Structure 1
Amino acid sequence: MDIAEPLLAAHRARFAAVDPLLPPAPPPAAGERLDAATSDGTQVTGVLQRVRLAPGDVPMLWSAADTWQLFPYFGDTGTEGVDLLLRALKGRLSTEPTEDDSACVVVWPSRDAEAIRAFLDHGLVPLSALGVRTAPPPEGLPEIAVRRAGPDDYDTALKLAEATFEYTGLVASARRANTAELLGPALRRALAETEPLVWLAEEDGEPRALAQCAWEDATPGSEAAELLPPGRWGYVNNVVTLPGERGGGFGRALMAHVHRELHRGGATRTYLYYNPTNPLSSVFWHRQGYRPLWTTWEVRPAAALR
């Protein structure tokens, strides 16, 4: 996709200015082009991609079945530029029917307040954020037992993992009826790994909390490098404390252990996705040293875009 060089340079300069932790903005995405011009004649451009999922696709855990994702290029035009591109997207959506299980999505640097103003004005909400933690692991560990999980823990781990979606289904993406079926295969593989990255916090031998993690190498040209600075990252995929046990320190103890283990394995930084609308995780992860780098702004169904 060709984008005018001055606009692309302004786009990259915006990323560099808004958050020094952002990696360099990647080349323009492929897709359908949307163009507009500001009141002073400055051109802004959006690239639109449409993704359709089948019921058995794992991204259905957090995504609509039919997603229209906008990649904005508005340089230094601020709120006006974003507003114009979202208006263009609204016009494009009016040309064909959209389903109830659909969404408009924009993934954008979390600290860009000028863009946030336009997102809110058009009915998008911050349903997901990529949070990063760059601090060293804690020195000491709270006195709660934490152990690595293995294949024999599958049923327990799946029950805990499902509990995440029971709660987030109230405050973010709706829970799918086949959540366990979508979670199961990846969880079973993770538990069978020779270097397991699934941990359980226990009390009197009974599991109280789960953390499922992975490694992510942000190398030049990789998908991860479009979102993260270069290096080896620890990915905190799913963390949950059993309902009724929340607030008892299990999550804090578990993550103190996990951060040390990930650091020991070579990850100097960690990242995760959390729901800003979740009144539990949005507080917990900030206290754990995470701060938002990218935010996913979304409106469902797609036709609800204002």
Structure 2
Amino acid sequence: MTVGRGLVDALVAAQGTRLSTLDPLVPPVSDPPDGDVVTAALPDGSRVAGVLRHQVHERMSAARLWSATEVWELTPLLGGAGAAGMDALLRAWRRRLDALRPAATDSACVLTWPSRDVEATGVLLDHGFVPLTVVAVRRAAPPPEPPGVTVRAAGPDDLDTVLALALAELRYSAQVGSTVLRPEAAEVKRRALAERLAAGGPAWLAERDGIAVGLAECSLVTSEPGNWAATRLPTGRWGYVNCVSVPPGARGTGVGRRLMAHAHRELARLGTVGTYLYYNPPNPLSSVFWPRQGYRPLWTVWEVRPAGALR
């Protein structure tokens, strides 16, 4: 490192604090490895940094079985900065690569970062990174059932509560997938939810001490010859899980599992042959939660962002 020791220590400490609040299983942040330093300034005058390491694997190296031959790997030091810090550092990396001229083929830029930092996920997607590999862990025991949680049907009088939870899910999903947080989102959601609740559409609230800690908002879809659903689903009546939202303070306590167990029972009681939903693989919550509830991929939607990046 050629930047000052004081800056490195400050970035390491602040980064450790931030990441530990996002995921308690992330280990303490250590000093970065040796390599070329990349720095970037933020609008408030603070700085972020990273260490860039270059490696070319030999032709007979086992590493070439799971890696490009030429690899440029960046270790970020963002301190307490979130999306803005990652964006600034990646832009500086792009400028550095313009000067370094990596190989046109069989080369890669690599960056490892905590999965639950959804702010960073959105930035990495914007810069063209694809989540190809994860380091996965499993705790020895499942989380306990949430104490004192009840599940009930949501009705028209619950519109404000349902809307708040639905918008919270929308804001989160916009960071990690195809969801777009539009200025009209609240108005559009309110209108749609008001109509659905007034019509008695299937929606449930999980509550603890009278306070909503989860939402499952669903609908019923019939797949029959000639309609759109038949191009995606086997024939029959299906439950569509449109939105499931658990606020941060209640996540990881079993609320979502309890809520969906209730929703699945009720949707089956309504005569459905199964349920379906959409989730984004880069979402570090959905990509774990839904497979545990028994869901498996049926179709995959691929995107290039932006459209001009199609190659």
TM-score (norm 1): 0.53
Question: Deviations for 1:46-94, whole angstroms, at most 9, x for unmatched residues?
Answer: xxxxxxxxxxxxxxxxxxxxxxxxxxxxxxxxxxxxxxxxxxxxxxxxx
| Deviation, structure 1 residue 125 | 6.1
Instruction: Give the SS at the match of 1:273.
Output: coil
Q: Is residue 160–residue 209 contact of structure 1 (8 Å, CA) maintained in 2?
A: yes
Structure 1, gaps ≥5 residues long: 1-122, 127-140
Q: Does 1:226 align with 2:256?
A: no
Q: Does 1:293 align with 2:298?
A: yes
Distance between the aligned counterparts of 1:292 and 1:143, measured in 2? Answer: 33
Distance between the aligned counterparts of 2:174 and 2:237, measured in 1? Answer: 31
Of residues 255, 260, 277 in structure 1, which corresponds to 2:260?
A: 255
> In structure 2, what is the equivalent of residue 190 of structure 1?
196
Question: Deviations for 1:108-135, whole angstroms, at most 9, x for unmatched residues?
Answer: xxxxxxxxxxxxxxx7969xxxxxxxxx
Q: How does 1:1-306 map to 2 (within 5 A)?
A: 144-173=149-178, 174-193=180-199, 195-306=200-311
Q: Is residue 148–residue 208 contact of structure 2 (8 Å, CA) maintained in 1?
A: no
Instruction: Quote the RMSD (CA, aligned, Å).
Output: 2.2
TM-score (norm 2): 0.52
Bigger RCO (CA 8 Å, 6+ sep): 1
What is the one-letter code of the residue matched to 1:220?
A: P
> In structure 2, what is the equivalent of residue 20 of structure 1?
none
Distance between the aligned counterparts of 2:264 and 2:232, measured in 1? Answer: 21
Paired residue total = 170
Q: Is residue 125–residue 298 contact of structure 1 (8 Å, CA) maintained in 2?
A: no
| Identical residues among aligned pairs (%) | 59
**Bigger strand fraction:** 1
What is the one-letter code of the residue matched to 1:179?
A: A
What is the one-letter code of the residue matched to 1:290?
A: Y
Q: Is residue 238–residue 276 contact of structure 2 (8 Å, CA) maintained in 1?
A: yes
What is the one-letter code of the residue matched to 1:170?
A: Q
| Deviation, structure 1 residue 142 | 8.9
- In structure 2, relative to structure 1, the CA distance for the partners of 1:222 and 1:277 (3 Å cut) is same
| Deviation, structure 1 residue 144 | 2.8
Distance between the aligned counterparts of 1:124 and 1:179, measured in 2? Answer: 27
Distance between the aligned counterparts of 1:241 and 1:125, measured in 2? Answer: 27
Report the structure number with the largest CA radius of gyration: 2
Distance between the aligned counterparts of 2:296 and 2:177, measured in 1? Answer: 19
Distance between the aligned counterparts of 1:182 and 1:156, measured in 2? Answer: 15
Distance between the aligned counterparts of 2:129 and 2:247, measured in 1? Answer: 31
Q: Is residue 124–residue 297 contact of structure 1 (8 Å, CA) maintained in 2?
A: no
Q: Is residue 148–residue 209 contact of structure 2 (8 Å, CA) maintained in 1?
A: no
What is the one-letter code of the residue matched to 2:240?
A: Y
| Deviation, structure 1 residue 245 | 1.2
Question: Deviations for 1:257-280, whole angstroms, at most 9, x for unmatched residues?
Answer: 000000000002110111111000
